[in-house]
Each structure stands twice: as C-alpha cells, then as structure tokens.
Amino acid sequence: MMVLWPTVGASQTNTPKHSNEFLSIGVGARSLGMSNAQVSLVDNVTAGFWNPAGLLEIDSKYQFELMHASLFAGIANFDYAGFATPIDSSNHLGFSIIRFAVDDIPDTRFLYDANGTLNYDNISFFSAADYAFIFSYARKVKFIKGLRLGANFKVVHRTVGDFATAWGFGLDAGAQLSLGRWKFGLMLRDITGTFNSWSHNPELVADIYTQTGNDIPENTLEITLPKMIFGVSKDWDVSDNFSLLAALDLDVTFDGQRNVLIGSDVMSIDPHLGLEIGYKSIAYLRGGLGNIQQIKDFDGSKSTTAQVNFGVGFRIKQVAIDYALTDMGDQSDALYSHIFSIRASIDKK
C-alpha cells in the first residue's frame, strides 16, 4: 500500500516550478473574489501577505483578520490569521499565519496482520500540512510622496505525518505608489530564493517502497525561485453612492515556459483582473478573472480556460465580512469553494 509523499526528488538540491504552491492560493475573501489582483491596492491587514507596503494604508491601531476555506470538495482545509499595528505614523508591523492541510489521510501500511488477515483496526491517520509564518514591516518614504515600501521575513514548515518534515526561510519585498486615483504596486517574492530543507524518515517506508519498486527518499534541499508581481489599479466615484475599482496584476516567473497566457523560454506572464463595485462604503460586489490556460484534449484539439471568481462584502462600522466563490483550477462544478473571512479594526487613529 502507498502513502502520500512530498513531491521532491532524490537529488540533493532541486528547483521545481511549483514549490510552496500553497502560498500562491492567496488570503482574504476580498482578494480571492477579485482573482488575487491585490498588489497595488491592498490596504488592510492582508497586505502582510500580498504586499507589505500596503500595511501603511491601515487607519486603525489594531487590525485582525481570520479566513477559512474548504477546498477541492472538502478534501483540503486552508486557514489564515493576520494581525497588523503601527509603530508610528511612518512604520507598521504585521504578522500572518497560514495553514494548508489534508487531514485524516489513512496509513494502510499495516492493514494486513502478520498472518495475512485483513484488519481495519490497524489503519491509523496522519496529516500532510504546510505552514507559513510571515513577519512584515512597512515604512513610508518621505522624500517621494505616495511611495510606501515593505518587506517580509517568512518561515515555512511542512509536515507529512511522521514520514517527512521541512523547514524553509525566505524574504519578500514590496512597494506601492499612489498617484491621484491611480495606484501601482510591485511585489518581489522569494527574492533570495526560499530554501526548504526536507528531512525524511526512510525506515518507516523502506519495506513498502522496496516491495513496490519505489526509490527510498533522501534528505533534500528544495528551492523556491523568485517571482515578480506588478499591479496597477484605479478607482472612480461613479455617483454619490457608488464607486468602482478596477485592478490588473501580472505574475512574472523566470523558470521557463509555463501554461499561462504569455509564455516563453525566458519568462512567463500570468495576468489576472479584479473588479469591485462599492455602495456607500458599506456593501461591495466583486468579480475576477485569472488562471488563463490552454487545455489539450484527447483528440489533440486545444481550448482556453479561465478561472472566474465572484464575491460580496459588507462593512459595518469596524467589522468587515467578506465572501468569495471560486473554482480552484476550473476543473468542475464540484470544485467550487465557499470562502469566508472576517476583519475587525480596533481603536481608530
């Protein structure tokens, strides 16, 4: 019987295209409802994830946010908690925790007793969980009006039951610039490469892997390559009661061609669009378009798919409640996920 195993190779060091991908999902139902187009406009506690420079836009002494999502028809759970507070008018701090996990995975290595009898009582359960702890700092640049800078130090911890664990460390840097109603953002993720050091317990699976012809896993070093995200957004006052906000983010990767809208051997560019309609700064309707890919059918024909997201939000005084409906991966109606988040501000400046 096989058990779940992390997707790292047997070599001592590798740089897979999709490393620490749980950090690409995004946090906050507002963000997910807008297809993650946030780098230029984020102005709340979730900026600790999207772009730490946006923490300077928070106008309260303390701000918290919690989010829960059940993904892939309930197979995986994704949770987020964030906190932000100012040091003074020019410096802000933030802290974020993210957990992505598949829980209650059956371990069937000992399903059969020594005499060959099937014994379901021998089944135990474990979790494959990814954690991220993000420490954020943001500072205003006084000599350039409207410019804000920020940085993240993040610690990544990944576990697969007792079979394997990994620790990783990385840095992000971000900037935002406001020019009237236009906003521009730049986020550099994993600017030095985020290093995940995997430690395996091969003695737990050596017998099973030998019987099934699999390679015994070795301790490895997995590197998450840098990624750049550029964003631009603009807001309009449509009337006394209604506002409109539009945003575009471009995710730029440098690890070869990916299945995205714009790809080459040098870099790939994945655009995503977000739209938010506000009513009296109380109620919001949101939509987004992203994850544009070409899918090849069995007959050799190709079709273009895109992930369409939808969301709503309500703000009552110092509390905001957001909801997003998103099709993770645009594979089937069964994979639509309902995502909720709540944000609270305490002690306005």
Mean pLDDT by 10 residues, the chain (349 residues): 39 66 91 95 96 95 94 86 94 96 87 81 89 96 91 94 90 95 96 86 74 74 90 94 96 86 86 96 94 80 86 94 79 70 85
What pLDDT does residue 14 have? 67
Residue 9 domain-assigned (yes or no): no
In whole angstroms, what is the distance from residue 326 CA to residue 33 CA? Answer: 7
In whole angstroms, what is the distance from residue 62 CA to residue 177 CA? Answer: 23
Residue 14 domain-assigned (yes or no): no
Residue 6 domain-assigned (yes or no): no
Domain count across the chain: 1
* Sign of the CA dihedral with 276 first, then 44, 223, and 166 last: negative
Range of 26's domain? Answer: 19-348
pTM, two decimal places: 0.86
Residue 325 domain-assigned (yes or no): yes
Residue 249 domain-assigned (yes or no): yes
Q: Say which CATH number the domain at 205 has.
A: 2.40.160.60
> Which residue in the block uniquely carries the two structure tokens 């079979």?
163
Residue 188 domain-assigned (yes or no): yes
Residue 10 domain-assigned (yes or no): no
What pLDDT does residue 1 have? 34
What pLDDT does residue 348 have? 63
DSSP 29: H
DSSP string, 124-138: EEEEEEEEEEEEEEE
Of the candidates 277, 343, 263, 270, the one whose C-alpha atom is nearest the C-alpha of residue 310 is 277
Residue 1 domain-assigned (yes or no): no
